[in-house]
Amino acid sequence: MPWKGIEFLNFRLRAVSPKAPFHLRGLAQGSGDASGALKRHRSCWFNGQKAETPVYDGSKLLAGNRFQGPAVIEESTTTVVIPRSFSCSVDRWKNYVLTRSTRT
């Protein structure tokens, strides 16, 4: 059928490349004091109780920063809520590690 155009119906591609080295960039080391990242306080509700809650700027938190909930961390793509019964520490890879505390 020379009068018909060419039509691609199925196409499969398998590509392999050598593994490139991958290194995560760690955060700068800070102290246990996270006050440098504190943006403001705002009223929030936790378990039916109103609490003045610190709000931290996630882009300013450093490795080693720690604080007690209730707290809020604002990131550019998400918001993290730390309940009253948890403490939060920031590790060198910017993970927020929550630990249940005995404080209520």
User: Tens of pLDDT along 3-32?
Assistant: 888 887 888 999 998 888 888 889 999 999
Q: Residue 89 — φ and ψ, nearest 5°? A: -130, 150
Q: How many domains does the chain have?
A: 1
Tell me if 94 sits within 8 A of 75, measured CB to CB.
no
- Is 1 a member of any domain? no
Q: Supply the range of the domain harboring residue 86.
A: 35-100
- Is 27 a member of any domain? no
Residue 7 pLDDT: 80
- Is 6 a member of any domain? no
Distance from C-alpha of 56 to C-alpha of 37, rounded to nearest angstrom = 5
| Mean pLDDT (whole number) for 41-61 | 95
- Is 80 a member of any domain? yes
Distance from C-alpha of 5 to C-alpha of 11, rounded to nearest angstrom = 17
Residue 104: pLDDT band by 50, 70, 90 thresholds?
low
- Is 26 a member of any domain? no
Residue 31 pLDDT: 94
- Is 16 a member of any domain? no
Residue 45 pLDDT: 94
Distance from C-alpha of 51 to C-alpha of 83, rounded to nearest angstrom = 11
Tell me if 74 sits within 8 A of 57, measured CB to CB.
yes
- Is 73 a member of any domain? yes
- Is 67 a member of any domain? yes
Residue 22 pLDDT: 84
pLDDT in tens, 55-83: 999 999 999 999 999 999 999 999 999 99
